[in-house]
Amino acid sequence: MSRIVRAAAIQISPVLDDDGLGTARKVCKAIYEAAEKSVKLAVFPETFVPYYPYFSFIQPAFRFGAEHLKLYERAVAIPGPVTDMVAEAARETGMVVVLGVNERDYGTLYNTQIIFDSTGEILLKRRKITPTYHERMVWGQGDGSGLKVVESAAGRIGALACWEHYNPLARYALMTQHEEIHCAQFPGSLVGQIFADQMEVTIRHHALESGCFVVNATGWLTEEQIKKIACDPALEGPLRGGCFTAIVSPEGKLLATPLTEGEGMVIADLDFTLITKRKRMMDSVGHYARPELLSLLHDRQPAIPVHYTDEPELDSRIRPVVSRGEP
């Protein structure tokens, strides 16, 4: 029996220089607008709330301390006001929402992806496992506990951020869990056309290799925002281009015209019969796999800085401390 889910990849610009809630309000507005178009799954860009740390790409580390601290002040607590707002919008529209945020966990920021179900429940909070290049001065590292596919009202959903898609084992970890829809997020307005070209190759390849749909959302900066972030005309160039908001079928086909500049939504109907059609030919984790030759070891235990034994009779000076974290 055929199942069809209408999805939207949303290209949108953040709200800069407010209390951090302005961008979240813009997210909710877009959710309601998508609902008017009968959308059941909406994907937003990487660390969209409150905004992607573009400053770290164009400024040397010793100069962006003030901007980094500002991002700390506006970062998202989970749960908190931002997640409450988005959860309410998801619940009222009956929509599954995938949102990228800068998460603050005490003294560290993380590049975090949140999947809200149509009930408003948070199904998954995962952190980018390895921030890329300049991002390593801004965010901490995630761990394998977030490499999960979740059951949602829209189907089995997995998510990765930006260059995590260049980690084939991270992608394979999701593929082994039989994702039906892969939600990809990139910052957009970065590096230029070459970034958009690479993005297209990356998301189309994952769709083909995994036999799933890919819904990819990138951010967008207006000219005014570019000038404000750069503060120098010589630094504006790297903040243009690099947008490729698109939806791809399991056969690697673009299901709608990609959005490469400006704000807007790319909307397409995902016909799940295409998943079976593709996997009949090539199932990377099924009949096309050779697990006796090649397999993946995936540590899903959360990386935490302390492990409590809760057994005072053991002397840690003599007996080793054993972690009791969940697998």
| Catalytically annotated residues | 46, 128, 162
Rounded to an integer, what distance in angstroms lies between the CA atom of residue 229 and that of residue 51? 11
Q: Which residues contact 92 (CB under 8 A, 6 or more apart)?
A: 32
Rounded to an integer, what distance in angstroms lies between the CA atom of residue 279 and that of residue 16? 44
Taking CA atoms, 41 is separated from 67, 80, 117, 232, 245, in Å, by 33, 22, 9, 39, 15
Residue 256, burial from CB neighbour count under 10 angstroms (0-12, 13-18, 19+): middle
Q: Which of 190, 191, 216 is nearest to 202 (CA)?
A: 216
The answer to whether 234 and 62 have CB atoms below 8 angstroms apart is no
Rounded to an integer, what distance in angstroms lies between the CA atom of residue 90 and that of residue 179? 21
